[in-house]
Amino acid sequence: EIVMTQSPATLSVSPGERVTLSCRASQSVSGNLAWYQQKPGQAPSLLIYGASTRATGIPARFSGSGSGTEFTLTISSLQSEDFAVYYCQQYNNWPRTFGQGTKVEIK
């Protein structure tokens, strides 16, 4: 099983700041990585797939990069609605696995 490790666990940020979240895979997943956003009491929602392709309706301030074992999700200017938990997920191998999440909270 591929283990996905996200860092940091929690990030305290002020609105308007640039945010960078990391996701590392225990072995290469090529570009087969997705990012999700989860707000309290809600289901996760897809942000990015293919490591860098934004899902339908996702604002341009969200961008993804990386390949192999190292991936990054960047939010260029954090908005109030972006405070949430972010998960990465690999779909290169079975079983599909998720990272443990990074919580982006208000500083």
Partner 1 sequence: QVQLQESGPRLVKPSQTLSLTCTVSGDSIRSGTEYWSWIRQPAGQGLEWIGRVYTTGTTNYNPSLKSRVTISVDTSKNHFSLKLSSVTAADTAVYYCAKCVGGWYFDHWGQGTLVTVSS
Residue 75 and residue 83: Cα distance in Å, rounded? 11
| Contacting range for partner 1; rule: CB under 8 A; set: 15-23, 39-47, 61-69, 74-82 | 39-47
Choose, by CB under 8 A, the member of 42, 60, 80, 81 that binds partner 1: 42
Choose, by CB under 8 A, the member of 100, 105, 106, 107 that binds partner 1: 100
Strand 70-75 and strand 4-7: the pairing is unpaired
Interface with partner 1 includes 101 (CB under 8 A)? yes
Strand 62-67 and strand 84-90: the pairing is unpaired
Residue 36 and residue 45: Cα distance in Å, rounded? 5
Residue 12 and residue 49: Cα distance in Å, rounded? 25
| Contacting range for partner 1; rule: CB under 8 A; set: 21-29, 36-44, 58-66, 76-84 | 36-44
- Residues in the site for partner 1, rule: CB under 8 A? 1, 32, 34, 36, 42-46, 49, 55, 87, 89, 91, 94-101
